[in-house]
Copies of this chain bind each other. A is one copy, B any other.
């Protein structure tokens, strides 16, 4: 039997086109990459051959090897891929990263995995020029993996004191201070703190001392910021209850159950994330506690949901767009010197905070 057009469809290569058109592969390449330097007659002949053989243009796989640059940045997280589309903070951040990438024509590869073995492989084999790493609380594994790739990478919102990794974060202490000062200036004197996790230990009431030993420096710094500012108003921070949540509805509600069970419930709540604050708003509404009439609350992050909640949430807004822009810039224009950057935060006053009740 003659070979014929065998069952398998072997892909058409540039070299096949060149042969068919009777030119060298160098010329064939030029037809696609720099058509202007090829004589028109030849150009047309090659294009015709390509068309006839069903050639889909130069395969980027081949080009890539030579070019070196992928022109795409990888965004990595330890969470499942859908995190990028579900989580409010991630979405805003991704939108800003997207814009920065669009502006420079770079693509985005989402890197993640169900299990951590897969994750390692996915990071090792990602076709990207660099990584932006979404650092969940204490997720140093991800940073380690990214570092091993020896590609430029920046960590976002890094909860770690490792000064050797490039990171773009915010001044948690100053931000928390802003929130505390705002409430104190409104006359509040009885506070409660709904904290982010300190470690992987679950949730429940905790103490300042324990938070000081926290695995996650974000949680620690925000508490420090709160308490430093409150102290300057002569408030005895040792009396301020701290409840460690896991940033979900259940633990936040449990925290509020706990906090409001006492004889002298707080008039002001410092929530370490908007998500916590929004869940708290639900709890307060269900318990007929007026916000900000009876209780004021200030969140942290500045996610868009906070602007349309009932009431709209006073919060410490991270400059999310700016962070995204800088991260992309750091990867794309990396001159080898990625540094740590702390961006300032803004207090956004909305309707969830008001004067302390008389």
Which chain A residues have a beta carbon within 8 Å of chain B's beta carbons?
Answer: 9, 54-57, 60-65, 68, 70-72, 80-82, 84-86, 91-92, 94-96, 98-99, 101-103, 105, 107-114, 118, 121-122, 124-127, 148-151, 336
Contact = CB atoms under 8 A, between A and B. Distances in A.
A85 to B, nearest CB: 4
B109 A72 contact: yes
A86 B98 CA distance: 11
> Which of A85, A108, A151 neighbours the largest number of chain B CB atoms within 10 Å of its CB?
A85
A247 to B, nearest CB: 19
Nearest to A336: B9
Contacts of A118: 105
27 contacts: A9-B336, A55-B150, A56-B151, A57-B148, A57-B149, A60-B124, A60-B125, A61-B70, A64-B127, A65-B65, A72-B109, A82-B94, A82-B98, A84-B85, A84-B94, A84-B98, A85-B95, A85-B98, A91-B91, A98-B110, A102-B114, A105-B121, A105-B122, A107-B109, A107-B110, A107-B126, A108-B109
Contacts of A113: 102, 105
Nearest to A60: B125
A98 B72 contact: no
A98 B80 contact: yes
B101 A94 contact: no
Q: Give the number of times this chain occurs in the complex, counting copies.
A: 2
Contacts of A86: 91, 95
A60 B151 CA distance: 12
Nearest to A151: B56
Given A61-B65, A107-B110, A107-B122, 7 more contacts: A56-B148, A61-B127, A72-B109, A102-B112, A102-B114, A105-B118, A107-B126
Given A95-B86, A99-B80, A118-B105, A70 B112 contact: no
A81 B101 contact: yes
A102 B82 contact: yes
Contacts of A82: 94-96, 98-99, 102
Contact of A62 (B65, B92, B98): B65
B102 A80 contact: yes
A114 B106 CA distance: 11
Contacts of A57: 124, 148-149
Nearest to A55: B150
Contacts of A63: 125
Contact of A127 (B60, B81, B94, B99): B60
Nearest to A63: B125
A85 B94 contact: yes
